[in-house]
Amino acid sequence: MQPVIVQIATTFIGDAVAFVNGFGRIVTHLVMAPVERIASACDVAGILSERAARALEREQVKRAWRSLRQSGERPQRSRRPGRLFGSLRFLGELT
């Protein structure tokens, strides 16, 4: 009888966590909406849309690597120079 009670409790806790996360996202969206509008109004050079496009491209590359990793294939990975100062890569957007 105890495993059923444990399963019900873990299901309830999981649902409660999902509810709190969803509520947090809604509140964050409502609070950040004015900030997003101001940022898009001040984006004269189109940097925000360019950044969003690059983020989407990176996500697609990550998905492709993930699917290759799950299929078992291992393509050769080219090592990019500059890994030592990788934490400074975002400073290029300031120029």
CB atoms within 10 A of CB 92: 7
Total domains present in the chain: 1
23 domain residue, yes or no:
yes
Query: Range of 65's domain?
Result: 2-71
Is 77 contained in some domain? Answer: no
Q: Output the CA torsion 48→56→36→95 (10° steps).
A: -20
Domain-located, residue 76: no
Beta carbons of 93 and 51 less than 8 angstroms apart: yes
DSSP annotation of 93 reads: G
Which DSSP state fits 55? H
In tens, the pLDDT along 11-61 reads: 899 999 999 999 999 999 999 999 989 988 888 888 888 988 999 999 999
Cβ neighbours for 2, distance < 8 A, ≥ 6 positions apart: none
Q: What is the pTM for the complete model shown?
A: 0.46
Q: Residue 35 falls within a domain, yes or no?
A: yes
14 located within any domain: yes
- Does some domain include residue 8? yes
Quick: pLDDT tens for 55-73. 999 999 999 888 888 877 6
